[in-house]
């Protein structure tokens, strides 16, 4: 699942807001940007739950367990597709799409293969760029 739009054309990548030329993309990366925040919130809520477990009602205990699971699972599952090229250095445009980490990993492989094909069809090689 992708939050937004990601359409791969032969020479470009179309997202919800932007179009990227594939021949200029050098690195396609997928990260988990909310993992540390999810783990931190989960750890803090776990500490709170363990400290006050004997004072909490059953509904509050269940709610805390659900919030802990959602925080950790959300941080683990949400991913961000990043595109790296010379044109996108220090640009927020390189942070293309958010979605589930698993799905973005599959799409990143397709995008990297399409970028290689676009570079080879345009005649640009790694040595030409340097």
pTM: 0.74
Higher pLDDT, 94 or 46: 46
For 82-129, what is each residue's pLDDT tens digit?
887 776 666 655 666 888 999 999 988 988 888 888 888 866 544 444
What is residue 129's predicted lDDT score, i.e. its pLDDT? 44
Listed residue (103, 129, 120, 92) closest to 10, CA to CA? 120
For residue 128, what pLDDT is reported?
Answer: 45
The reported pLDDT for the residue numbered 94 is 60
| Token pair 């776990």: residue | 46
Helix, strand or coil, per DSSP, at residue 34: coil
pLDDT at res. 126: 47
| Residue 89 CB contacts under 8 Å (≥ 6 apart), including other chains | none
- Six-digit token string for 9: 């054309």
Mean pLDDT value of segment 61-66: 96
Q: Give the span between the Cα atoms of 80 and 52, in whole angstroms.
A: 36
């Amino acid at each position: 699942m992708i939050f937004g739009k990601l359409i791969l054309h032969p020479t470009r990548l179309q997202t919800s807001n932007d179009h990227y030329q594939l021949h200029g993309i050098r690195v396609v990366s997928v990260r988990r940007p909310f993992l540390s925040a999810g783990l931190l919130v989960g750890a803090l809520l776990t500490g709170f739950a363990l400290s006050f477990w004997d004072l909490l009602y059953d509904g509050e205990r269940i709610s805390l367990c659900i919030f802990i699971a959602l925080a950790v699972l959300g941080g683990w599952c949400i991913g961000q597709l990043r595109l790296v090229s010379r044109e996108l250095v220090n640009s927020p445009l390189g942070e293309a799409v958010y979605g589930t980490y698993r799905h973005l990993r599959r799409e990143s492989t397709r995008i990297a293969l399409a970028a290689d094909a676009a570079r080879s069809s345009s005649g640009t090689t790694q040595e030409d760029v340097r």
